[in-house]
Amino acid sequence: MDVIDAIGNTPLIRLSKIGADLPNPIYIKCEHLNPGGSIKDRTARAIVIDAEAKGELRPGSTMIEGTAGNTGVGLALLASARGYRLICVLPEKMAVDKRIALCQLGSEVIITKNGPLTAPHNFRNVAKRLAEENGWFLTNQFFNPANLGAHYGTAKYPGTGEEVLAQVKQAGFSTLGAFVMSSGTGGTISGSGRRLKEHDKGIQVVLADPVGSSIADWVNTGTLGPDGPFAVEGIGSGTVPGNLHRDVLDSAESVSDAEAFAMVERLVKEEGLTVGGSTGVNVVAALRVAARKDLNGPIVTVACDQWDRYKSTAWMKAWMEREAATVKLPE
């Protein structure tokens, strides 16, 4: 047994205060409690196991990934345990905390200028070019079907969707009303959503998307919306990732940075959940869905990652400064 066996089987808990007055209860799957602190540990495990089975990874192999940080952390854990070299390519806009964590875990880190996917210096394009030039294994989370399989389920490991179904049943429900989740690569919402709909086609699968991302409009209308700035990390996009499958999705909700970061504070203070901004996006969207009266069961969403990845960000610094101002020193 190694770290790979500690990934998954995370708890599903009910939000006891936030949304308590709504028609449908909200449950949150605590993926921030994975060994690497995020749901991306599942993605990393699935990609590595699949590549090993195909002979694409052998002892001493080099992996490279374009990442917002969390997939890189998951891959770094596995690289250490399995004896691989890992190179992570991050855009400069991502929190410094993630760079530090990757270096501490033994990954080599390359920082690129921010840019759209059409730009050669985009982090994903840089990772792809370096993989081709050096013969390294490109883990390719945005298009690798193993990412989707991590959440749909494999022969060896139940997926996120399968775990949700079992845990909702343990909580006394035969099904759930909706699954609400944001999208970085699309793997979690598409893989979990497909498995959930196999169980009950009436389950609504709702994308939670930051305002400024183009994806919510694409889900709701079939056309990408305007691409604007947003501060929440690791989710949202101006293009459609290969692992995001529109046929699984029923609708999308757009959530502003201000709403997301305010919800993170509430989750910490009212529910004891130390999570990052993408979880704030998920819960704000889940509250809207939970207000509906046409759903047959609880709403399930996801705590994507830990708050300690964001201590260097502007929104977290502003929060810490507000809290520091309330501290009273003894006279």
Q: Per residue in 268-287, pLDDT tens?
A: 999 999 999 999 999 999 99
Q: Are residues 240 and 132 in the same domain?
A: no
Please state whether beta strands 137-138 and 62-66 pair in parallel, antiparallel, or not at all (unpaired): parallel
Q: Are residues 251 and 168 in the same domain?
A: yes
Is residue 331 included in any domain, yes or no?
no
Give the Cα separation of 306 and 264 in Å (integer).
11
Q: Where are the beta strands (DSSP E) in the chain?
A: 12-14, 26-30, 62-66, 85-91, 108-112, 137-138, 178-181, 204-210, 251-255, 299-303
Q: Are residues 214 and 301 in the same domain?
A: yes
- Residues annotated as catalytic are 40
Last residue of a domain, one of 138, 169, 185: 138
Using pLDDT thresholds of 50, 70 and 90, give the confidence band for residue 117: confident
Q: Are residues 309 and 255 in the same domain?
A: yes
- In degrees, rounded to 5, the angle at the alpha carbon of residue 183 between the alpha carbons of residues 181 and 188 is 65
82-104 residue pLDDT tens? 999 999 999 998 889 999 999 99
Number of domains present in the structure of the chain: 2
Give the Cα separation of 29 and 302 in Å (integer).
5
Mean pLDDT (the chain) is: 95
CATH number for the domain harbouring residue 113: 3.40.50.1100
Is residue 152 included in any domain, yes or no?
no
Question: Is the overall model pTM greater than 0.75, yes or no?
Answer: yes
Q: Are 280 and 171 in contact (CB under 8 A)?
A: no
Using pLDDT thresholds of 50, 70 and 90, give the confidence band for residue 210: very high
Q: Are residues 113 and 207 in the same domain?
A: no
Q: Are residues 262 and 232 in the same domain?
A: yes
Using pLDDT thresholds of 50, 70 and 90, give the confidence band for residue 128: very high
Q: Are residues 92 and 69 in the same domain?
A: yes
Is residue 251 included in any domain, yes or no?
yes
Q: Are residues 53 and 11 in the same domain?
A: no
Q: Are residues 283 and 199 in the same domain?
A: yes
Is residue 15 included in any domain, yes or no?
yes
pLDDT of res. 258: 97
First to last CA, the chain: 54
The two three-digit tokens of residue 28, written as one number: 């949150």
pLDDT of res. 126: 96
Is residue 150 included in any domain, yes or no?
no
Q: Are residues 110 and 251 in the same domain?
A: no
Is residue 244 included in any domain, yes or no?
yes
Q: Are residues 233 and 296 in the same domain?
A: yes
Is residue 324 included in any domain, yes or no?
no
Structural domain boundaries, residue 89: 40-138
Is residue 143 included in any domain, yes or no?
no
Q: Are residues 122 and 226 in the same domain?
A: no
